[in-house]
Amino acid sequence: MTLNKSEVIALDSQYHAGVYGRLKICLVKGDGCRVWDSEGNEYLDCLAGIAVNNVGHCHPKVTEAICRQARTLMHCSNLYYIEPQARLAEKLVSLLPRPIERIFFCNSGTESVEAAMKLIRRASGKPGIIAAHNSFHGRTFGSLAVTGQEKYRKPFEPLVPGARFVPFGDIDSLTSAIDEEVGGIILEPIQGEGGIRTSTEDYLRAVREVCDDKGLYLAFDEVQTGMGRTGNFLACQSYGVIPDIVSMAKGLGGGFPIGAMAARSDVMAAFHPSDHASTFGGNPLACAAALAALNVLTEEGLMENARTLGAWALDQIREMQRRHPDLIEDVRGRGLMLGIEMASEDLAKKVFDHCMKERILVNRTAGKVIRLVPPLLIERQDLAKALHVVEEPLN
Ligand SMILES: *Cc1c(COP(=O)(O)O)cnc(C)c1O
């Protein structure tokens, strides 16, 4: 009893909240870097569920781990110990930079930011958090409060108080925003939703120094940049700057929903029993999926691929910019997190439409930025194909 595309669209239109501007595509299957729609069309996925399918779609090891765990124990309360969660925590800590070695599991990116915000408040006893203009940290009242984009915040105010926004990359503004009320700083090392805006090592180092100097907690939101995306497990490792707290989700579960907030032991110790909790957070099924996904990431050399292929792609895109200096305004990225800023929103729309027509899944963010965040196991010829298609409308 399979519905056809128009039947699915009709049902969705009738019953869904309608908060998504959906494309008229009904996906039914995925494998590696490819997905298929209900009409049998094949797409090259250079969006990876927005930086989620880092190990590709339906990786056999992840699928196998989920099936095995689903037959054994799907859920139990965090009142009990479970092996998948203990093993996932160990694996995750092995990938995180020292001295980050304590994990709290949750279910999404926004929850991992909420956990980070609560930890900053608990550890510092102060309500103020500095965040960056143009940032994106999620849609719940806490994470939305530190999201530096008016269009998302305004309709839902009042939000959690205490946020102060400063221009991303400007250390002087950040230093001036610090007062007695501020307990911490939250930043994406590379702004994702805000248009793939990279940091400089100097900036992140200076932020770290200011935090050390003033006794502030530094939280990095690595929900999008983490899990190998930029060529290291966390993007901050590429910059050589280690935060006190880090938020993760998206690619963590290999497509299965799971999030995590990690922190230095002495910082996490500020949480007392029952200060924070989650019914589903780190449940057996999610942890089995995430453990398998992290094993794939390390065993199959996906971070190395992200690093080398990403560097190659960035070169290609820079050459593209040299061929079309009036049409491409800027090119940014690290690893397989790439942004091509077009000269106008109309042009970005044109490029996006052409990609869809050629069945290459990409996304347009911050108005005129084409975002490519493909699975980390993508091969050079596929990425080359995608870049070729992106360039076609510019010729
Ligand atoms: C996607 C994203 C979030 C929100 O994650 P959800 O799982 O949608 O709640 C938070 N921070 C960053 C940097 C993101 O890219």
Per residue in 352-362, pLDDT tens? 999 999 999 99
Confidence (pLDDT) at 126: 98
User: Is the pLDDT confidence value at 1 over 80?
Assistant: no
Q: Is 223 exposed, middle or buried (0-12, 13-18, 19+ CB in 10 A)?
A: buried
Can you say whether the dihedral through the CA atoms of 250, 256, 257, 261 is positive or negative?
Answer: negative
pLDDT band at 234 (very low <50, low <70, confident <90, very high): very high
Q: Is 6 exposed, middle or buried (0-12, 13-18, 19+ CB in 10 A)?
A: exposed
> Which amino acid residue places its CA nearest to atom 5 of ligand 1?
109
Ligand 1, atom nearest to 250 Cα: 7
Helix (H) or strand (E) holding 7: helix 5-15
As a 3-state breakdown, the chain gives helix, strand, coil percent values, each rounded to 5, of 45, 20, 35
Query: Each residue of 82-106: pLDDT tens digit?
Result: 999 999 999 999 999 999 999 999 9
Ligand 1 pocket, 371 CB below 6 A? Answer: no
> Which amino acid residue places its CA nearest to atom 8 of ligand 1?
109
Ligand 1 pocket, 249 CB below 6 A? Answer: yes
pLDDT band at 179 (very low <50, low <70, confident <90, very high): very high
How large is the average pLDDT for residues 48-54?
A: 98
Distances (CA, A) of 140 to 114, 115, 350, 385: 8, 12, 32, 38
Report d(CA 172, CA 206) in Å as an integer: 10
Pocket test for ligand 1, best of 144, 186, 191, 193 (most atoms within 8 A of CB): 193
Cα 139 to ligand 1 centre (Å): 8
Report d(CA 131, CA 287) in Å as an integer: 30
Confidence (pLDDT) at 342: 98
Q: Cα 325 vs. chain centroid, distance in angstroms?
A: 30
Query: Each residue of 263-313: pLDDT tens digit?
Result: 999 999 999 999 999 999 999 999 999 999 999 999 999 999 999 999 999
CB 218 within 8 A of CB 244: yes
Ligand 1 pocket, 243 CB below 6 A? Answer: no
Pocket test for ligand 1, best of 137, 144, 227 (most atoms within 8 A of CB): 137
Looking at the DSSP bridge assignments, the partners of residue 198 are 190
Can you say whether the dihedral through the CA atoms of 260, 263, 267, 268 is positive or negative?
Answer: positive
User: Is the pLDDT confidence value at 27 over 80?
Assistant: yes
Cα 110 to ligand 1 centre (Å): 6
Q: Give the tokens for residue 18.
A: 């309608």
* DSSP characters over 92-121: HHHHSPTTEEEEEEESSHHHHHHHHHHHHH
CB 283 within 8 A of CB 357: no
Confidence (pLDDT) at 216: 98
Report d(CA 223, CA 231) in Å as an integer: 15
Where are the chain's structural domains? 62-299
Report d(CA 218, CA 204) in Å as an integer: 10
Confidence (pLDDT) at 376: 98
How large is the average pLDDT for residues 40-66?
A: 98
Pocket test for ligand 1, best of 223, 245, 280 (most atoms within 8 A of CB): 223
Q: Give the tokens for residue 128.
A: 């103020």
Choosing among 3.40.640.10, 1.20.990.10, 3.50.50.60, 3.40.50.150, the CATH entry for 62-299 is 3.40.640.10
276: helix, coil or strand?
A: coil
Query: Each residue of 200-232: pLDDT tens digit?
Result: 999 999 999 999 999 999 999 999 999 999 999
pTM (predicted TM-score): 0.98
Q: Closest by alpha carbon to 73, among 390, 287, 267?
A: 287
Q: Closest by alpha carbon to 260, among 229, 313, 295, 223?
A: 223
Ligand 1 pocket, 108 CB below 6 A? Answer: yes
Cα 199 to ligand 1 centre (Å): 18
CA angle, residues 319, 321, 322, in degrees to nearest 5: 65
Report d(CA 366, CA 134) in Å as an integer: 9
Cα 160 to ligand 1 centre (Å): 18
CB 106 within 8 A of CB 261: yes
Report d(CA 371, CA 330) in Å as an integer: 12
129: helix, coil or strand?
A: strand
Pairing outcome for strands 34-37 and 42-45: antiparallel
